[in-house]
Chain A
């Protein structure tokens, strides 16, 4: 792994390149993750409401964003969007300097794709709650919105935390797709280091190590979150103990 500390073409070290890649991976992961979470909850909840048009719209969203490969979606945001919107906006987008020019489309693609997957988990979570929850909320006079925010979603989210963890891990891995539109995240940097130093094993091993490390931290955080959110008196899969 000595190679990491060698001088690179731009004056810094290869380790520096890798760290820069790490920065972009984490930033992309975090921003896309937050957006995906919010959008996903919204769409997932929308799939379970009584209002039919909303349910259909949400169903369509999930159909579309889950069934087109992530790479193709990212290409659409990066290459196609600027061309199909009004010319003034399109030109404005094309003016954005890299790496942000690659960053924003990547965020768009990753967050909307991941949101469609999270929506399905949330939908499953809400549907698994007993019907009585909704009925009780109705009886108490809560509006639909209040019912979701105060009663259904808090429970549904606790149920889906384990799958949300695996979605977060999936999002981390998917950030590598951004390299195809020029974002220099971890994998892109590793490939670069390989090109310049021909130390293939070192380059890709470092990238692998970084991903494994982040995944490890993620699992730890998820474990703590699950612990904090546990409701007293509920059995592990959040059904009331008999």
Chain B
């Protein structure tokens, strides 16, 4: 049994390109997902009629079905839907990369929304009252008082969720996209060096995600020193792990 890891080394540029896409996808989905998720969480927290119910249904749906299925849905259906909206009625080919960005953002937003929502609920009611009593508008209240506290408190969980997101990006394999795993798979299959490439991929993911988890732990420890709100502590403990 001899394994040719030199092949892996020479393929490094191509692998790095794939890794770059994985990281890009993670960042876009995290930022987009957090923005959309925070927005949805606030709508639900405020109890806006109709909208809050819609958010609830959306979040429940996204959290109940596999990501692979959601990828298929978007990959096949979004071009069709957009086609209905345009004058010509033809489906617009979006390209798998763009579809992946949209899909992951929308999918992850459901998970971030739940994290933020728990954070909003865990903030002491007095903070909301203090802000209202001062006459702050609703948007000022959320923007200046509530959301900064929620983000600080839920930072460790958000980091954990993002690490899971990074792992999930590997699933773009089913759309034949060239992320890190996809790049490795392409070469491995072409050159019949499955063992070398897949084990390398595993080790690289292990290193990156371990470092990410370390970061999350540091965050958590720093939180423990600064936090002054007991209920927020309980919310964090409830969320020992981000999502299934």
Contact = CB atoms under 8 A, between A and B. Distances in A.
Given A72-B202, A120-B240, A194-B76, A177 B68 contact: yes
B244 to A, nearest CB: 2
A84 B194 CA distance: 11
Contacts of A63: 206, 210, 213
Interface of A: 63-64, 66-73, 75-76, 79-80, 83-84, 87, 117, 120-121, 124, 163, 166-177, 179-180, 187, 190-191, 194, 200-201, 204, 207-208, 211-212, 215
Given A71-B181, A72-B205, A166-B244, A173 B67 contact: yes
Contacts of B195: 79-80, 83-84
A166 B73 CA distance: 23
Nearest to A191: B72
Interface string B201-244: 11001100110010000000000000000000000000011011
Nearest to A210: B65
Nearest to B213: A67
Contacts of A83: 1, 194-195
B206 A68 contact: yes
B205 A68 contact: yes
User: Which applies to chain B's interface (DSSP): helix, strand, loop or mixed?
Assistant: helix
Given A176-B68, A177-B68, A71 B170 contact: yes
B168 A79 contact: no
B243 A69 contact: no
Contact of B171 (A71, A169, A208): A71
A84 B69 contact: no
Given A84-B195, A163-B240, A211-B64, A179 B1 contact: no
Contacts of A84: 1, 195
Contacts, number: 120
A64 B209 CA distance: 10
Nearest to A120: B241
Interface string B169-202: 0110110000001000100000000110011011
A170 B244 contact: yes
B91 to A, nearest CB: 11
A174 B73 contact: no
Nearest to B212: A67
A109 B63 CA distance: 22
Contact of B198 (A79, A173, A176, A204): A79
Contacts of A204: 69, 72-73, 76-77
Most A Cβ at <10 Å: residue of B170, B209, B244: B244
Nearest to B63: A169
30 contacts: A67-B167, A67-B209, A67-B213, A68-B202, A68-B209, A69-B181, A69-B205, A71-B171, A72-B202, A75-B185, A80-B194, A80-B195, A80-B199, A83-B194, A120-B240, A163-B241, A166-B243, A166-B244, A169-B64, A172-B66, A176-B68, A179-B68, A179-B174, A190-B69, A191-B72, A200-B76, A204-B76, A211-B69, A212-B64, A215-B64
A79 B168 CA distance: 20
B202 A171 contact: no
B146 interface: no
A194 B198 CA distance: 30
B80 interface: yes
A225 B76 CA distance: 39
A166 B76 CA distance: 29
B244 A201 contact: no
Nearest to B174: A180
